[in-house]
Amino acid sequence: MPSWQARLFDKLITALVRRRHWGDPERLKARARRIFGPPAWYSSSRTFGVKVKRTDGTIPGEWIVPDGCSSENVILYFHGGGYVSCSPMTHRPITAALARDSGCRVLALDYRLAPEHQFPMAFNQTLAAYHWLLMHGSKPRSIALVGDSAGGGLALALLAALGESERKSLPACAVAFSPWTDLASTGASLTTNDGRCAMFHRENIAEFATAYLGDVSPRDPRASPLFANLSGLSPVLLHVSSTELLLDDSRRVHEAIQSADGECTLHVFDGVPHGWQLLDGLIPEARASLAEAALFIRERIETDATSAVSRAGNRS
C-alpha cells in the first residue's frame, strides 16, 4: 500500500495536471512547460551536498558533483517531460540525490525540446553526449545511463543503439524510472490504468508522441526502444508505478530483455504518481527508489575506472 504522503500527492497531481486532452502541439507545449516539474525553489533546496555547474555548451547541460568527490565515474542523466518540457534544473531533486547516494558525478543533458526540435534531435544529442564522455577519457564501464519518463526512454534507446552497433562501448548499466518506451501506444495498461494514473489519460500519450515525432513512425527504435533489439545489453533496472499508464512500457521491456537472456530488474511500486522520484524528501517511496537505483549503479560501475571526465568537467 502506498504511503499517506504518496496518496496525498497523487490526489494533488490529479487535480492540477490530469485532463482528457492537451490539444495541439503548441497548446500542449505551453501547458506542459507551465506545470511540469517541481517549483524552482524546491529543486534548488535539494542540491545540498553537491556542487552544480553549467557545462560550456559543447554538450548542453550541467554537472552535479558530490562534495569532496574524487570518483571518475559518471551518471549520464536524461530528464523527463514528454520531450516537450523540463530541464536539468527541474530534475535536480533526482540528479543531486543520485550524485550523493552513488558518489558519482552526474552529467544532466539539456537536450532540445519538441515541437521546436522534433525527433530524432533528442536521441542524437544523447548519442553525442555519450561519445563526448568517451572522447574526454571516460571508459564505457565507468558510465551509467539514467533517465525518467521520456528520458528513461532515451536512456534505453541509447543503450539499445550502442548494443546494436557499438557493443564494445556499452556502459556499465542503465536505470530507467517509468520509461516511455512505446510511443505507438500498444500497452494494455493504457486501458487498465486509465483513470488510475494521476497525470495522464490514454489519449495524452498519442498527443505527446505527435508533438515529438511529427510524421515519423512511433515504432522507430530510437523513439520506442520496446521495438529495438534488446539482446546483449548492459544490466538494466526499471522502476514504475502499479497505477501508471506506462506500466506496460516497463513490463514488456523487462520481459524482452529477460527473454534475450539479459539482466533486467523490475520493481513495481504500489500506487505512487508518475515521476515520484522528483518528490525526494516529501514521500518515502522517492527515497527508496533513488537509494535502490544508486546501489544498483554502485554495484555495477567500475569503482577503479580511470578517466579524464573530472578534468573535462572542470573545463566545462
| Residues annotated as part of the active site | 149, 244, 274
Q: List the one residue out of 279, 208, 275 whose CA is nearest residue 244.
A: 275
237: which DSSP letter?
E
What is the bridge-based pairing of β-strands 61-66 and 50-54? antiparallel
* Helical (H) or strand (E) element with 314: helix 309-315
Rounded to an integer, what distance in angstroms lies between the CA atom of residue 119 and that of residue 230? Answer: 21
Number of neighbouring beta carbons within 10 Å of residue 62: 21
Rounded to an integer, what distance in angstroms lies between the CA atom of residue 193 and that of residue 6? Answer: 17
Contact 114, 84 (CB under 8 A): yes
Rounded to an integer, what distance in angstroms lies between the CA atom of residue 101 and that of residue 220? Answer: 35
All cell numbers assigned to 281: 524528501
